[in-house]
Amino acid sequence: EAQVTQNPRYLITVTGKKLTVTCSQNMNHEYMSWYRQDPGLGLRQIYYSMNVEVTDKGDVPEGYKVSRKEKRNFPLILESPSPNQTSLYFCASSLIPGGGLGNTEAFFGQGTRLTVV
C-alpha cells in the first residue's frame, strides 16, 4: 500500500529539548516536504527536498532542520523547540514538479501533533 508514515503521532516536550519527527514514504517519490498547520494560518511549508541531498527552505523554516540522506526518509529536526512551534505537522511526498505534467499530487502522512511546554 502506498503511504507516507510519520512518527510519532503525538508528542509533548519541553522547551529546548531536541527532537526529531520521522517521515518515510514507499512510493519512490523524489519530492518530499514538511508543513505545519495552525488555526487561521492554514498549511505552511517548512522545508522541501527535490531529491537526496537536495533540500530548500519553504515559507517558515526558522527553528527547523531537515536532512535527506535516503530517498524514502525525510526527518524534521527541532534542535531547540520553543512553545511557538506547538502545531500540527504533516509530511508529504510527490513526484517531482515541473515538466507540465501536473502530476504533483501530494500524499500526506497522518500528522504529528506537537506540544512544546
Partner 1 sequence: TQLLEQSPQFLSIQEGENLTVYCNSSSVFSSLQWYRQEPGEGPVLLVTVVTGGEVKKLKRLTFQFGDARKDSSLHITAAQPGDTGLYLCAGHGASGTYKYIFGTGTRLKVLA
At residue 36, φ and ψ (nearest 5 deg) are -120, 145
Which of 90, 93, 114, 116 is close enough to bind partner 1 by CB under 8 A? 90
Residue by residue, what is the 3-state secondary structure of the chain? CCCEEEECCEEEECCCCCEEEEEEECCCCCEEEEEEEECCCEEEEEEEEEECCEEEECCCCCCCEECCCCCCECCEEECCCCHHHCEEEEEEEECCCCCCCCCCCCEECCCEEEEEC
Least distance (Å) between residue 93 CB and partner 1: 11
Interaction residues for partner 1, span 20-39 (CB under 8 A):
31, 33, 35
Options 1, 62, 100, 117; binder of partner 1; rule CB under 8 A: 100
Which residue is it, cell 506537537? 114
**Applying CB under 8 A, which of residues 13, 19, 22, 58 lies at the interface with partner 1?**
58
Applying CB under 8 A, which of residues 5, 7, 13, 45 lies at the interface with partner 1?
A: 45
Selected binder of partner 1 within 15, 82, 84, 103 (CB under 8 A): 103
| Positions in the binding site for partner 1 (CB under 8 A) | 4, 31, 33, 35, 42-45, 48, 50, 56, 58-59, 90, 92, 94, 97-98, 100-106, 108-111
